[in-house]
A and B are shown apart, each in its own frame.
Chain A
Amino acid sequence: MARIIAGIGSSHVPAIGAALDNGKTEEPYWKRIFSGFEKSQAWMRETKPDVAIIVYNDHASAFSVEMIPTFALGCAAEFPPADEGWGPRPVPVVKGHPALASHIAQSVILDEFDLTICNKMEVDHGMTVPMNLLFGKVEKSGHWPCPVVPLAVNVVMYPPPTGHRCFMLGRAIRKAVESYPEDLKVVIFGTGGLSHQISGPRAGLINSKWDKNFLDNLSNNPQKLVKIPHIDYMREAGAEGIEMVMWLIMRGALDDKVDEVYRFYTVPASNTAVGHIILANRGRGSARKSAAKAAPKPKRSGGKLKRAAARVKTERIRG
């Protein structure tokens, strides 16, 4: 059976993609950001997921104001990078995993989450920037290291889904993954945030204390986060900081208790606080007993993961 082994939280600031595409990664401003992801890339190379589920939001690229789906799951075989006004990013087409995606769709819809299904969809920086941060730079002619199941969430038009709804969808996705018969190592990304506001006279808002508390609770006490009302996100973390609800889908798909493998936080990238975290399920515990009995023995990569976790020591932000 398939298993979710880890969750990754990452900002998806478009300027990070532009810096990578325009060869600015060695400039001190950008190096500060990219160097924070070096250990994560090593962890990812070691972990070698078979599939990544990426929770992200579209920014007026695939969806305009004509249709605004709350949750849209990409079931296509591939997702071309969108032209966001400067030509598509020079990254490879993202390959999907249609079989797993449609399995997830069927399972979570019966669990009462009314998804929109996208059999044709372009993807923007919201998805490809976190992929670059975790997988490194990949030439347009190359290949991303694994297929992706994209889940686009409306966080552009208010109201986005509540944090609680997001968390519960994460749980339903986990259940769906664990009922997929093929042995697959799955990671799930929650992207966007952290605190930022890019619109109106209050643009430029950053709230590092909020961000740090969010990351702490994401690790240890996610139940506290699911109760945060939208007004608090918008007031404290900025009008666009409400993207952080997407991280709760990722968190909902993990065990209650997880190991924090790595964390990185820096201000700013353009107008935004960059946050990043890797949370790993504690190996065998993630496979439910009943499912494990019914299915052939799952691949045991927990030990491998633990070794990776030990090597990449948890880094905590200071001050």
Chain B
Amino acid sequence: MARERHDYDDIPGTFVFDAERSRQGYGINMFCMSLMKDENRKAFKANEAEYLKKFKLTPEQTDAILKRDYNRMLELGGNIYFTAKLGATDGHSFQHLAALMTGSTQQDYAEMMLAGGRSIEGNRSRSGKSAPSKHLGAAGRGKSAAGNRKAKSKSKTRSAKRK
């Protein structure tokens, strides 16, 4: 059955871990949980494909794990707090994984974060919704949202790579 459509499918570069993915990705996430134990980490590293047979995984899920395709794991129901345990088993820092998922080098990613992170401008919507949330856009004691929006639209923005 095709995946149900949701309003959040419009968010670019994002795989929301919802109830459907939670069900679909149960095997991926339970595999990742097993890596909390040292003996399991060793068994996995000794023979990855064999170890993965212990979990209910589809061929696509197994393939994504073996290839360390983190975005694909998320798409197939993995959750980042779980898949991060696979990254740790490989001896990688979290920023290494983040860089992998965003298709940049770890250094570029780290520099982007130091410079204030990825801008929201240009990264709100696949379909072109560009106005900030009406719920917080004009709130608070700051300047009007409209004023800020105008100023910000001129600034350089980084777009998330679209899948």
Known: A202-B160, A214-B136, A231-B8. A65 touches B124 (CB 8 A): no
| Complex: chain B residue closest to A242, CB-CB | B16
Known: A60-B79, A200-B74, A224-B135. A239 touches B116 (CB 8 A): no
Query: A85 within 8 Å of B by Cβ?
Result: yes
Q: B56-102: which have CB < 8 Å to A?
A: 71, 74, 79-82, 85, 88, 94-95, 98, 101-102
Chain B residues, CB < 8 A from A224: 135-136, 139
Q: Are the C-beta atoms of A64 and B163 separated by less than 8 Å?
A: no
Q: How far is the CA of A159 from the CA of B162 in the complex (A)?
A: 24
Chain A residues, CB < 8 A from B17: 156-158, 199, 239
Q: Are the C-beta atoms of A232 and B135 separated by less than 8 Å?
A: yes
Kindly supply a per-residue 1/0 record for chain A positions 197-208, scoring 1 wherever the CB is within 8 Å of any chain B CB and 0 otherwise: 111111111111
Kindly supply a per-residue 1/0 record for chain B positions 23-42, scoring 1 wherever the CB is within 8 Å of any chain A CB and 0 otherwise: 00110011011011000000
Minimum C-beta distance from B146 to chain A (A): 13
Q: Are the C-beta atoms of B94 and A228 separated by less than 8 Å?
A: no
Interchain CB contact (< 8 A) of A239 among B11, B35, B135: B11
Q: How far is the CA of A201 from the CA of B70 in the complex (A)?
A: 10
Q: Are the C-beta atoms of A206 and B11 separated by less than 8 Å?
A: no
Query: A216 within 8 Å of B by Cβ?
Result: yes
Q: Are the C-beta atoms of B11 and A202 separated by less than 8 Å?
A: yes
| Complex: chain B residue closest to A233, CB-CB | B133
| Complex: chain B residue closest to A202, CB-CB | B13
Query: A270 within 8 Å of B by Cβ?
Result: yes
Q: Are the C-beta atoms of B140 and A216 separated by less than 8 Å?
A: yes
Chain A residues, CB < 8 A from B162: 201
Kindly supply a per-residue 1/0 record for chain A positions 58-86, scoring 1 wherever the CB is within 8 Å of any chain B CB and 0 otherwise: 01100011101000000000000001111
Known: A60-B81, A64-B29, A217-B139. A199 touches B123 (CB 8 A): no
Interchain CB contact (< 8 A) of B161 among A64, A199, A201: A201
Kindly supply a per-residue 1/0 record for chain B positions 106-146, scoring 1 wherever the CB is within 8 Å of any chain A CB and 0 otherwise: 00010011101111100111000000110111011110000
Q: Are the C-beta atoms of A201 and B94 separated by less than 8 Å?
A: no
Interchain CB contact (< 8 A) of B132 among A64, A234, A236: A236
Q: How far is the CA of A209 from the CA of B147 in the complex (A)?
A: 12
Query: B50 within 8 Å of A by Cβ?
Result: no
Q: Are the C-beta atoms of B85 and A199 separated by less than 8 Å?
A: no
Query: A106 within 8 Å of B by Cβ?
Result: no
Chain A residues, CB < 8 A from B15: 199-200, 239
| Complex: chain A residue closest to B100, CB-CB | A203
Known: A157-B22, A217-B139, A234-B11. A204 touches B117 (CB 8 A): yes
Q: How far is the CA of A65 from the CA of B28 in the complex (A)?
A: 10
Q: Are the C-beta atoms of B142 and A216 separated by less than 8 Å?
A: yes
Query: A280 within 8 Å of B by Cβ?
Result: no
| Complex: chain B residue closest to A58, CB-CB | B81
Residue in A65, A207, A227 with the greatest tally of chain B CB atoms within 10 Å: A65
Q: Are the C-beta atoms of B16 and A202 separated by less than 8 Å?
A: no
Chain A residues, CB < 8 A from B139: 213, 216-217, 221, 224
Q: A135-192: which have CB < 8 Å to B?
A: 156-159
Residue in A59, A68, A201, A208 with the greatest tally of chain B CB atoms within 10 Å: A201
Chain A residues, CB < 8 A from B7: 231
Chain B residues, CB < 8 A from A273: 117
| Complex: chain B residue closest to A201, CB-CB | B13
Query: A120 within 8 Å of B by Cβ?
Result: no
Q: Are the C-beta atoms of B19 and A205 separated by less than 8 Å?
A: no
Q: Which B residues fall within an 8 A CB radius of A?
A: 7-8, 10-19, 22, 25-26, 29-30, 32-33, 35-36, 71, 74, 79-82, 85, 88, 94-95, 98, 101-103, 109, 112-114, 116-120, 123-125, 132-133, 135-137, 139-142, 148, 160-163
Task: Give 19 A-B pairs besides A59-B81, A203-B98 with Cβ atoms closer than 8 angstroms.
Answer: A60-B82, A66-B30, A83-B36, A85-B85, A157-B19, A199-B74, A200-B13, A201-B14, A204-B112, A204-B113, A204-B118, A205-B117, A206-B120, A212-B140, A212-B142, A225-B135, A235-B11, A235-B125, A235-B133
List 6 contacting pairs A-B, 8 Å CB cutoff, sorted by A: A85-B35, A200-B74, A206-B116, A209-B148, A267-B113, A271-B113
